[in-house]
């Protein structure tokens, strides 16, 4: 009997299971279509939904955010899609362009992306509500200190900047013209007097980034005070500005990582990371024998841990959620809100290192179709998986995620940022729904929509390539907690996914 049928029989009375067995996926909701249209900037699709949907429902959707789209509203998604038409429609329906404080609000997003038409549309909407001067100069419409990374390179984003600062630092001539044409001169002068967290006005910033001539052509008064400064002064001041910003944001970078030092959180004595036997992941058992069934091509169910080990890990996850302050915990990833990153809790790191070495790497070697790149050349393929036994993951991102009412209840279709994904269900009492679904090349066993569905039981892990499209159907009751590990292999390994 296929492994999935075992779990289907256990929940035969659940409506979601009956749909799964009949291969009848739940229809797409109005909300799903609404946020998809906003994310693609499709103003015609949005208008069609408005015309065909009850007015109260539309009003609710206008002010909602989408968990599947980084918790952005439809307006914020339309701005990111650079759609002036969709932005204008959503503003007419009552969307708030400054709903989110700081960098996330639609006005600052449009300025940072250099979308002059969208920026002008947003500013006109704010001005029509007689809120322009009141909002643009308030902390709600100003950036916050932050550290962002492009690969391993930290980018120190200065806080306290207004929309005028952003446009100047981005050297956005078109956006500066949009500001000049939509914002009253007295409001612009009020913005120009504000200093960011580096201590600079927008005029001084224009000089520092070499934008004073272009800025003066649009706003002649903006950079006049810096006209007598030479290039040598500019270079020295700019170097000093960036050095001081990096120093000031060192604390912000540590706060962003939200590492909980070992002395603040150490796993309970019953969950000692130094005692591998306590975790019972049976490293001496051949990885292939841990397999309990193939869900679909390249996706397997395995049981590498004992029930006692799963219960102990779940207890520790619950203890972290109860005892570690939420502001010390980093979000698991960009799509899941509830949970934490395992590596941020120093006490868990020895355990995770052992699991990667003794469980995940052998599993990947035993099931090479679950890892996108692996250490075996096609010309060396003699059918012996021992050739991949030297596989070592280059990097690992491990996290706990939680699904329950009031938090995340589902996850839209996506791919993982990994070569190999390990997803262990830690369970909960009586949860229902939250079925995994996978879209793979093989059609047999899939529903009409091409999806292979799987009821994830506690203690069972699913392994697959990160590039396989998958998601989680809505949770219908209870709560579900999972341990997910994303693994990447070193560069230069053979791409097994492309092998014939």
Q: Find all residues with CB under 8 Å of 470, minimum gap 6, and list them.
A: 413, 414, 415, 436, 437, 438, 439, 464
- Report CA Rg, the chain: 26
Q: Which residue has the higher pLDDT, 177 or 276?
A: 177
Domain end position, chosen among 257, 288, 303 = 257
What is the reported pLDDT for 306?
76
B/e letters for 428-463, b = 16+ CB within 10 Å, e = fewer, are beebbbbbbbbebeeeeebbeeebbbbbbbbbbbbb
Domain end position, chosen among 257, 286, 302 = 257
d(CA 386, CA 469): 29
Q: Which residue has the higher pLDDT, 18 or 341?
A: 341
CATH number at residue 174: 1.25.40.20
pTM above 0.85, yes or no: no
Q: Within a domain: residue 411?
A: yes
Q: Within a domain: residue 7?
A: no
Q: Within a domain: residue 39?
A: no
Full domain range(s) for residue 447: 269-498
Number of structural domains found in the chain: 2
CATH number at residue 422: 2.60.120.620
**Residue 350, Cβ density class (10 Å: 0-12 exposed, 13-18 middle, ≥19 buried):** middle
Residue 97 tokens, joined: 């362009």
- Residue 12's pLDDT band, with cuts at 50, 70 and 90, is very low
Give the SS3 label for residue 439: strand
The proportion of the chain whose per-residue pLDDT surpasses 90, expressed as a percent, equals: 21
pLDDT digits (tens, 9 = 90+) for 163-221: 999 999 888 999 999 999 999 888 899 899 999 888 889 998 888 888 888 999 999 99
Could you give phi then psi for residue 157, rounded to 5 degrees?
-95, 125
pLDDT at 249 over 80: no
pLDDT digits (tens, 9 = 90+) for 383-424: 444 344 457 888 889 999 988 877 877 888 888 888 999 999
DSSP letters for 239-300: HHHHHHHHHHTHHHHHHHHT-B-TTT----GGG-TT-GGGT---TTS-GGGGEEEEEETTEE
Q: Within a domain: residue 51?
A: no
Q: Within a domain: residue 209?
A: yes
pLDDT at 1 over 50: no
112 and 242 belong to one structural domain: yes
| CB 196, CB 241: distance < 8 Å | no
Locus of tokens 């339309």: 78
d(CA 460, CA 304): 8
DSSP letters for 124-152: HHHHHTT-HHHHHTSGGGS---EEEEETT
311 and 248 belong to one structural domain: no
315 and 245 belong to one structural domain: no
Q: Within a domain: residue 341?
A: yes
Domain end position, chosen among 230, 257, 284 = 257
Query: What count of other Cβ atoms lies within 10 Å of the Cβ of residue 112?
Result: 20
pLDDT digits (tens, 9 = 90+) for 306-353: 777 788 888 888 888 887 777 677 888 878 878 888 887 766 777 788
| CB 128, CB 98: distance < 8 Å | no
Q: Within a domain: residue 89?
A: no
């Amino acid at each position: 009997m296929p492994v999935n049928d075992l779990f289907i029989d256990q929940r035969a009375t659940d409506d979601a299971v009956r749909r799964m067995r009949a291969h009848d996926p739940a229809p797409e909701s109005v909300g799903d279509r609404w946020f998809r249209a906003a994310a693609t900037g499709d103003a015609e699709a949005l208008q069609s939904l408005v015309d065909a949907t009850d007015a109260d429902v539309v009003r609710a959707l206008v002010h909602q955010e989408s968990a599947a789209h980084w918790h952005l509203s439809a307006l914020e998604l339309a701005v990111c899609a650079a759609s002036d038409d969709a932005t204008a429609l959503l503003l007419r329906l009552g969307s708030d362009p400054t709903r989110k404080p700081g960098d996330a609000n639609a006005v600052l997003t449009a300025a940072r992306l250099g979308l002059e038409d969208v920026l002008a549309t947003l500013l006109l909407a704010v001005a029509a509500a007689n809120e322009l001067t009141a909002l643009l100069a308030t902390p709600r419409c100003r950036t916050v200190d932050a550290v962002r990374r492009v690969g391993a390179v930290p980018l120190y984003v200065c806080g306290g900047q207004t929309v005028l600062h952003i446009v100047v630092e981005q050297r956005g001539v078109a956006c500066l013209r949009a500001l000049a044409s939509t914002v009253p001169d007295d409001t612009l002068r009020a913005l120009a007097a504000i200093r960011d967290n580096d201590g600079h006005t927008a005029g001084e910033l224009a000089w520092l980034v070499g934008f004073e001539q272009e800025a003066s052509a649009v706003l002649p008064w903006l950079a006049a005070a810096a006209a007598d400064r030479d290039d040598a002064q500019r270079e020295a001041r700019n170097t000093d500005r960036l050095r001081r910003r990096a120093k000031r944001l060192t604390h912000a970078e540590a706060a962003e990582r939200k590492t909980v030092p070992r002395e603040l959180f150490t796993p309970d004595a019953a969950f000692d990371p130094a005692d591998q036997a306590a975790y019972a992941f049976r490293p001496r058992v051949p990885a292939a024998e841990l397999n309990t069934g193939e869900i679909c091509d390249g996706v397997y169910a395995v049981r590498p841990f004992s029930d006692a080990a799963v219960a102990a890990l779940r207890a520790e996850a619950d203890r972290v959620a109860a005892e570690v302050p939420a502001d010390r915990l980093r979000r698991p990833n960009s799509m899941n809100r509830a949970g934490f990153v395992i590596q941020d809790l120093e006490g868990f790191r020895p355990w995770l290192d052992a699991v990667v070495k003794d469980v995940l790497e052998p599993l990947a070697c035993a099931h090479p179709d679950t890892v996108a790149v692996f250490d075996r050349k096609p010309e060396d393929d003699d059918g012996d998986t021992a050739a991949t036994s030297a596989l070592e993951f280059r990097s690992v991102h491990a996290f706990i995620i939680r699904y329950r009412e009031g938090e995340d209840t589902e996850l839209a279709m996506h791919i993982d940022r990994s070569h190999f994904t390990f997803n262990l269900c830690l369970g909960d009492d009586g949860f229902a729904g939250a079925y995994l679904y996978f879209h793979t090349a093989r059609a047999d066993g899939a529903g009409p929509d091409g999806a292979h569905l799987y009821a994830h039981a506690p203690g069972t892990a699913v392994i697959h390539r990160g590039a396989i499209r998958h998601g989680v159907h809505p949770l219908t009751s209870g709560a579900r907690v999972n341990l997910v590990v994303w693994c990447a292999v070193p560069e230069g390994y053979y791409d097994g996914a492309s092998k014939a």
